[in-house]
Amino acid sequence: MPVGVFDSGLGGLTVYRAIRKQMPDQPLSYLGDNAHAPYGVRGADDIYRLTCAGVERLWDEGCDLVILACNTASAVACKRMQEGWIPADKRVLGVFVPLIEAVTERDWGDTSPPREVDVKQIALFATPATVASRAFQRELAFRAIGVDVEAQPCAGLVDALEDNDLELAEAMVRSHVMALLRRMPNPQFAVLGCTHYPILEHIFKAALGDGVKVFSQANLVAASLQDYLKRHPDMVGADRSGRLLTTGDPQSVSDAATRFLSQPLHFEAA
């Protein structure tokens, strides 16, 4: 069976591409809710409703395991979904777990009390909704103490990337980095807390400087999924098909996605 990858728009394609590279034989179905993007400026109930609808559509595609390749959906909806909405034979995983594991160098299954870690200052760049949810700080606090997180809501950045306005997007990155560095001049780590942002990872790195280690999620999520499927072979079925779906206009989304990843992609109507 295919693994489902869900995002509010194009950003999850960075995760889709990383999984394809890590596991070329693993079938994937992708759903972008382009008709309702971006999620980062929506309210919590709206994000939850739209995320549930997207996950159910991927279940209809035969995807018993769905990755929320959207930090906003992972931050705002994932925990609420896992607390009673998801059937016993389905799985929905967010993108925060691999990121927290990498930052703290602790496996998710490690249930020992929070402890000191090497990193003391983290810069978080994310959508306004992800920042407002404080989901990253909450999950981090379960595993690490003594870590200061300074979060920068990057309003408008997803829209610029979805519109393929890279000049504007790059200017926004530099502006958001400058704003954060005024509040936290010397972060050790920077977390790109939106799956759109890896497209501009080189701009973030240049603006932050050589001394800051930048964590981008796509490769971390792909490696984590590979490990998960090894431990849960029941989630891998015989169906080798997979599709790219969108709630928006398929031709427009196909064109935008092709520009976004610089490779041909063909979307169908969800």
The CATH number linked to 125 is 3.40.50.1860
109 pLDDT above the threshold of 80: no
Q: 3-state class of 244 per DSSP? A: strand
Q: What is the pLDDT of residue 100?
A: 86
Task: Indicate whether 30 and 107 sit together in one domain.
Answer: no
250 pLDDT above the threshold of 90: yes
Q: What is the pLDDT of residue 267?
A: 98
Q: What is the mean pLDDT of residues 228-232?
A: 89
For residues 114 and 144, the answer to whether their CB atoms sit within 8 Å is yes
What pLDDT digit, counting tens, does each position of 7-16 carry?
999 999 999 9
Task: Indicate whether 90 and 41 sit together in one domain.
Answer: yes
Domain boundary among 185, 201, 216: 216
Marked catalytic residue, from 63, 78, 154, 194: 194
91 pLDDT above the threshold of 70: yes
Task: Indicate whether 103 and 181 sit together in one domain.
Answer: yes
Marked catalytic residue, from 52, 63, 70, 78: 70
Instruction: State yes or no: cis peptide before 38, omega within 30 of 0.
Output: yes
Residue 52 among the catalytic residues: no
Query: pTM value?
Result: 0.90
Q: What is the mean pLDDT of residues 108-121?
A: 86
Residue 63 among the catalytic residues: no
What pLDDT digit, counting tens, does each position of 182-225 carry?
999 999 999 999 999 999 999 999 999 999 999 888 989 999 99
Task: Indicate whether 107 and 22 sit together in one domain.
Answer: no
Residues 119-135 as b or e (16 or more Cβ within 10 Å = b): bebbbbbbbbbbbbbeb
Tokens representing residue 126 in the block: 């994310």
Q: What is the pLDDT of residue 237?
A: 61
Q: What is the pLDDT of residue 239?
A: 61
Place of tokens 């929905």: 92
Residues 233-260 as b or e (16 or more Cβ within 10 Å = b): eebbeeeeebebbbbbebeebbebbeeb
Q: How many domains does the chain have?
A: 2
Task: Indicate whether 211 and 109 sit together in one domain.
Answer: yes
- Which range of residues forms the domain containing residue 195? 97-216
Task: Indicate whether 48 and 131 sit together in one domain.
Answer: no
What pLDDT digit, counting tens, does each position of 150-184 carry?
999 999 999 999 888 999 999 999 999 999 999 99
Task: Indicate whether 122 and 59 sit together in one domain.
Answer: no
| Comparison of pLDDT for 56 and 114, the residue scoring more | 56
pLDDT band per the 50, 70, 90 thresholds, residue 240: low
For residues 190 and 208, the answer to whether their CB atoms sit within 8 Å is yes
pLDDT band per the 50, 70, 90 thresholds, residue 238: low
